Amino acid sequence: MASTRFLAPLLLLLVSGAAAAHVETKLYATSPRAMTILGQDMQDYTGDHFVFNGAIPWYPYSVDVGVGTPAQTQSMALTVQHGESWVLWSEHCLPRDDINPNRTSYYRNCSSGSFDDVKSSSFAYNETGRYYGSFASGREAGVDGFVMQDTVHIGGAEWSNTTMGLGTWAELDTGFFGLGRPWLYPNGQNATGSGQATMLDQMVAHRVIDSPAFSIYADNRLLLNSTTGGGGEATRREIGSILFGAVDRSKYDGPLKRIQASYGRDKVSGSSWERAPGYFANVTGFWTRDAAGKDRPVGTRGSQIYAAVNPTFAISNLPSDVAAELYRAVGSVAYLAYVNLKAVLCDRIPDLRGSFGVELGGAGGYRLEVPLRDLVVPPEAFHMVLKGRWDGSEGEKYCLLAVQEEARRNQYYRYDYQNSGPEWVIGSMMLRGTYAVFDSENMEVSLAPLKAGGGGRAADIVAFGSAGAHAPDSEFVGYEECFVKSCQKKEDEDEKNGGLRVDVQTGLLVSSALAALGFILVG
């Protein structure tokens, strides 16, 4: 790709010395208490019509991260659509209260851990001052605080002077580990309150990994921490792994199929307030397949769409005409008007047959196909019980569909409530059987089916060879496109895989180089 590959030699000059090949750490299911505030928000809205059981699994995965010297370990929700990271400030933590488990929007229980700046000898406030972020789509689900710098520890690796946010006010009961790019206005200025460099760029700058890329896979069941130990507390459940700077060939059936993605902001063409973070891929088409194996193409009324490929956001948002065909295939889908969501009776899950598919990356790209039963959030994770039966018996139990209609503009499952543009998302429930690699240097996503049978195999880890290298063991499929007016389409005869090849100019050379050095980018 012409956009950033010439940056690789520059990065190698800026960041001298040998880098660690890779860093790996476990994925865990996010603590149910971390997202409780969203469930409370929905309960308040619906009144006595529904009882909600479990936690809304918007962000299904978390990682253990140590912050400070000595390290203070906390479970941080993982996010690909945000470029910033933050931790909860311990000063605003209160003991658990079963009557009101999250107390108020100002004080948190910090069930996922917190950070005490006084106890860290390497802590420093950052001169950029205030920090604000938005990580969910409830009425007030954001975080406010200060920009800080400290040492980060993860997977046995550590690096110092890392820029993060220190949340002195937060709705959600968790910090976040951000692996996306920062929001940018169309003119290239940073739209985040802090302007902090991304975590991947900081890892490269400190020679933890060679290239700003990572691979991720999770168990094919999105189950939250429903198992309890002897003390009644939720038992943590390991559900996968994230590998920074490398891929593990023992985990997938290869080769990896590499598709071109774009920064969401490259597609913005109007108000500077329209911003859509993430790895957006061209979606060529959808289809459904019935139990007999017959395919039925699903159109999007002739319009081309782009969807964010995001294994760290559970729910997929799709155009209403596409979602309608999926609902037809599922059959007997209920519209829960109180919360503006689509659901299905939980006891129907075992009987669902057929599949739903999508082609990513343009014609000839990666074909992702998912069984229909895998597109329902399991009842042990989250379900809704309709109340108010005249005979006093328990009402029907509804399970949330993992594909919703974004066009309904529902505040509870929006990709990000500050984003005013289209928010099509291919989320973790659709990617649950997929090994995914995200390369922020080349803006490429590589995908392959997970190997059947889970673990038990010896790891076969291959690192990215250098800054700007493509995902190991991958081949390009689909085609690349031009996302800004200044670039021209052209054929690349040197590309051995063929297909339409197009320059993608993102204008991020200077900002990427500065980020690699740990500089703060202030809009």
Structure tokens at 21: 């090949």
Burial class of residue 94, CB neighbours in 10 A (0-12, 13-18, 19+): middle
* Owning domain of residue 272: 1-455+464-523
pLDDT the model gives residue 237: 79
* Three-state secondary structure call for residue 492: coil
| 325: Cα within 13 Å, side-chain hemisphere | 21
Tens place of pLDDT for every residue, the chain, 523 residues? Answer: 333 333 333 333 333 344 447 999 999 988 877 877 777 777 777 777 788 887 776 888 999 999 999 999 999 999 988 888 889 999 888 765 554 555 555 567 788 899 999 999 999 987 666 776 766 654 456 788 888 999 999 999 999 999 888 988 887 888 999 998 765 444 444 444 444 578 998 999 999 999 999 999 987 555 554 443 333 345 677 889 999 999 999 999 989 999 998 876 555 444 444 455 678 898 888 889 988 888 888 865 556 688 889 999 888 888 888 888 899 999 999 988 777 889 999 999 999 999 999 999 988 999 999 999 999 998 888 888 887 656 656 678 999 999 988 655 555 555 554 544 557 889 999 998 999 999 988 889 999 999 986 556 789 999 998 888 999 999 999 987 765 444 443 334 334 333 333 333 333 322 332 233 232 222 2
Nearest to 209 by CA among 252, 154, 161, 254: 154
Asked if 84 contacts 75 with a C-beta cutoff of 8 angstroms, the reply is no
**What type of residue is 379?**
P
DSSP letter assigned to residue 409: -
Q: Which stretch of DSSP H or E encloses residue 302?
A: none
Placement of tokens 């790996």 in the chain: 24
Distance CA 386, CA 50 (A): 5
| Domain CATH number, residue 39 | 2.40.70.10
Structure tokens at 403: 């594909």
**Tens-digit pLDDT profile for residues 204-226:** 999 999 999 999 998 755 555 44
pTM of the complete model: 0.83
pLDDT the model gives residue 520: 29
DSSP letter assigned to residue 196: P
Distance CA 465, CA 21 (A): 9
**What type of residue is 282?**
N
Distance CA 436, CA 447 (A): 5
Largest CA distance in the chain: 74
Q: How many domains does the chain have?
A: 1
- Contacts of residue 393, defined as CB under 8 A and 6 or more positions apart, other chains included, come to none
